[in-house]
Amino acid sequence: GHIVRNWKVRWFVLLQDKLLYYKIEGGKKEPSPKGRILLDGCTITCPCLEYENRPLLIKLKTKTNTDYFLECCSREERDSWALDITGAIHAGHPVQVQELHRMKNSFKLLDNISLHDIVERMYDSSTGIKLTRNLDQGNRYKETFTGSALVDWLISNSFAVSRFEAVTLASMLMDENFIRPVGARSTEAMRFSDPSEKFLDDSTALYMFAEHGKKTSSSKEEVQFNISELSGTIVKQGFLVKQGHKRKNWKVRRFVLRADPAFLHYYDPTKEENKPVGGFSLRGCLVSALEDNGVPAGVKGNVQGNLFKIITKNDIHYYIQASSKAERVQWIEAIKPLT
């Protein structure tokens, strides 16, 4: 309500340019609408997390800066209404409507998003994910959050634009051991290999921060280990394209080859901080060129050629593309003596 800030049941009808709402009397809606929301120039926020105890809200702000908070009965209903209202707002722009439907079931993680940055934001005491006590099959868990709460939080903080995308992102946080499942439902889902089934967008599935990812844990050992890795003499460095382990996509990385100790690290060139995003010891590794006629097993996506592969002593396979055959030869020849 606008005058008395209470919550009342209303029957809503979505038209092409406005949203009508009716009073309910005796289980039936009255013939004339109680009010209307003009959609021209409206902005929509979904999920809206302004009310902590009301996670199923849609917020509409009109072009005259009037705020409407609408609470739905379920997440599915909320997301369905939000999609249709957004479509009506952009009805005069059919290309935008098509793009909205495409994004609903697509995934494209923004290049400038770091999983570490997301976790840092999640820990924030004022704007981070809300931690609560939960009961699951007789077991009590402290400082947990539900799957649907994390999906809502990722969308509201602009880390994802759809629930499908947020679920995939949450699965990546779980794969990298930033968060972990607790309780029967979320733990059971871990056996699925498909990211859309591994993490549950559900209000009964519980998750918590993984112990080693907490800010309170000591990072002294990790810092010493990294210093040891990065103390070697730089033998070669340059830009190569690497296939990811989780999503099998290709991204440009700056590789640095070091000797004594022998390590190959790779950096994200979009990040200002000069810290590697990955790396491995070269002791016991195998490195070899891959033929350009045909795509080898284990390689997916856009392959331009000039591939080579590094297999670590732990049998982890790294697929890397050079810009030319000559550059590929140079990297292989530089790496081989250090294995």
Strand 179-182 and strand 206-209: pairing?
antiparallel
- 45 found inside a domain: yes
Domain boundary among 51, 74, 105: 105
Rg (CA), the chain: 25
196 shares its domain with 233: no
> Does residue 257 contact residue 281 with C-beta atoms inside 8 Å?
no
Domain boundary among 52, 85, 105: 105
Strand 233-243 and strand 206-209: pairing?
unpaired
Confidence at residue 69, expressed as pLDDT on a 0 to 100 scale: 93
Confidence at residue 296, expressed as pLDDT on a 0 to 100 scale: 60
Instruction: Give me the tens of pLDDT residue by residue for the chain, a chain 339 residues long.
Output: 877 888 989 999 999 889 999 998 887 889 999 999 999 889 888 888 888 778 788 999 999 999 999 999 887 788 889 888 988 888 755 555 555 555 544 445 555 567 788 888 898 878 889 888 877 766 778 889 999 899 999 988 888 877 878 888 888 888 778 898 988 888 888 776 555 578 888 888 899 998 643 443 333 333 333 576 788 889 999 988 888 877 777 888 889 999 988 999 998 887 766 788 888 889 999 999 987 655 565 565 556 678 899 999 888 889 998 888 899 999 999 999 999
Of the CA atoms within 13 Å of residue 248, those in its CB half-sphere come to 8
99 shares its domain with 186: no
Task: Compute the distance between CA of residue 236 and CA of residue 258 in angstroms, rounded to an integer.
Answer: 7
Confidence at residue 217, expressed as pLDDT on a 0 to 100 scale: 36
> Facing residues of 146 across strands?
206
Confidence at residue 215, expressed as pLDDT on a 0 to 100 scale: 40
CATH number, domain of 82, equals 2.30.29.30
What range does the domain containing 87 cover? 10-105
> Does residue 62 contact residue 42 with C-beta atoms inside 8 Å?
yes
- 218 found inside a domain: no
- 270 found inside a domain: yes
> Does residue 163 contact residue 201 with C-beta atoms inside 8 Å?
yes
Helix %, strand %, coil % for the chain, to 5?
A: 30, 30, 45
231 shares its domain with 322: yes
Residue 42 CB neighbours (<10 A): 19
Nearest C-alpha neighbor of 235 from the set 282, 268, 276: 282
320 shares its domain with 241: yes
For residue 324 the two structure tokens come to 């030319």
151 shares its domain with 232: no
Q: Is 34 helix (H, G, I), strand (E, B) or coil?
A: coil
Task: Compute the distance between CA of residue 57 and CA of residue 70 in angstroms, rounded to an integer.
Answer: 5
- 56 found inside a domain: yes
36 shares its domain with 75: yes
- 201 found inside a domain: yes
95 shares its domain with 170: no
248 shares its domain with 169: no
Domain boundary among 73, 105, 137: 105
Of the CA atoms within 13 Å of residue 143, those in its CB half-sphere come to 11
Q: How many domains does the chain have?
A: 3
243 shares its domain with 286: yes
331 shares its domain with 293: yes
- 5 found inside a domain: no
CATH number, domain of 181, equals 1.10.10.10
205 shares its domain with 242: no
Nearest C-alpha neighbor of 335 from the set 292, 276, 280: 280
- 39 found inside a domain: yes
DSSP-assigned states of every residue in 219-259: -HHHHHHHHHHTTSEEEEEEEEEEE-SSS--EEEEEEEEEE
- 3 found inside a domain: no
167 shares its domain with 101: no
Exposed e or buried b per residue across 174-198, where buried means at least 16 C-beta atoms within 10 angstroms of its C-beta? bbeebbbbbbebbeebeeeeebeeb
Confidence at residue 324, expressed as pLDDT on a 0 to 100 scale: 86
